[in-house]
Amino acid sequence: MLIVFGSINLDIAVQVPHLPKPGETVLGGGALISPGGKGANQAHAAALYGMPTTMFGAVGRDAFAAPATANLRAAAVNIDGVCVCDNPTGIATIGVTQTGENAIVVSPGANLCAIGDAVSDAKLLTARVLLMQLEVQAQECFRLARRAKEQGCLVILNASPLADEMQLDARALDIVIVNKLELAELCARQEIFGIDPIDQARLLAKALEVDVLVTLGEEGAFLMQSNGQTTACQAMAVTAVDTTGAGDTFAGVFAAAMAAGEPIRRSMQAASVAAGIACTRPGAQIAQPTRTEVDAGLSQLWPQ
């Protein structure tokens, strides 16, 4: 089983001719309102991949709570651990260009009420993997991560978004997933200055004694282990329509495959295919592929 602790939002995405500059108002096109939040996106992707998944987080007592969790219910994600609080349900506003680029602003709302102690030790004992992100309070993530490691879970953190001057509690983590910008920011905070992403990841993994999985968009992904061993994975070649949630799709499917006992390389390949397919469709959760679609992509790129 996979446990996901993280955010649940309602996304409001607007097609724009270009992303606005500071102080600029851009007249957009059509709007898409759909379930989102990094935690919910990742849990949904994992469930579509076929992994029994339990989601822990929080929503408000408002009209946004039901639509924000609708896809989780439809995908059979266990949301018994999602609490209801007085803060409004989280909202993300997203501008998306014709080339699939996006800019996202998140109002956390109820996500700040998510408590790691809601995940019992008994529940952690039944899970192979704990997956987290940083749209909830970081201290709650790390407190939960420490307990999860004590119970034998593989602990994966998608270190996004990075709050100002936040430091990772790397002792509580096994794998950190970042994109190229997040990798550079984490290195700067550790006063690490590599010459390229591979060098940065090598130095960061050694300094923190944690494996670092770096996503590079169309350039693929690579895992840098703390011992210096590297595993690379190419991206699926696609024409991007909307990259919103592609990183969440990658993280969710990677965690699901790891929870299923798949080797690291195969888990990365499945995640890469899933993220690529998601980029060809608008939205976040609604763009994510089924296990059948992922397996078809795998058989084309990496037949076994």
Question: For the chain (length 304 residues), average pLDDT per consecutive 10?
Answer: 97 91 90 93 98 98 96 97 97 88 90 97 96 96 97 97 86 96 94 92 96 95 95 92 91 98 97 96 92 95 78
Q: Domain spans of the chain?
A: 2-8+36-89+111-301
* 90-96, strands of its sheet edge to edge: 31-36, 9-15, 90-96, 102-107
Q: Give the helix ranges, DSSP H, for the chain.
A: 38-48, 65-74, 121-125, 138-150, 180-189, 197-208, 246-259, 264-278, 291-301
pLDDT per residue as tens digits for the range 181-233: 999 999 999 999 889 999 999 999 999 999 999 999 999 999 999 999 999 99
Residue 167 has a pLDDT of 83
Residue 304 has a pLDDT of 67
Catalytically annotated residues? 248
How would you classify the pairing of strands 221-224 and 230-233? antiparallel
CA-based nearest residue to 73, from 40, 95, 28: 40
Judge whether 43 and 134 are in contact, CB under 8 Å: no
Return the SS3 of 94: strand
CATH domain 2-8+36-89+111-301 topology: UDP-N-acetylmuramoyl-L-alanine:D-glutamate ligase (3.40.1190)
CA-based nearest residue to 146, from 174, 112, 127: 174
Residue 96 has a pLDDT of 87
Phi/psi at 172 (nearest 5 deg)? -95, 0
Residue 161 has a pLDDT of 92
Judge whether 119 and 62 are in contact, CB under 8 Å: no
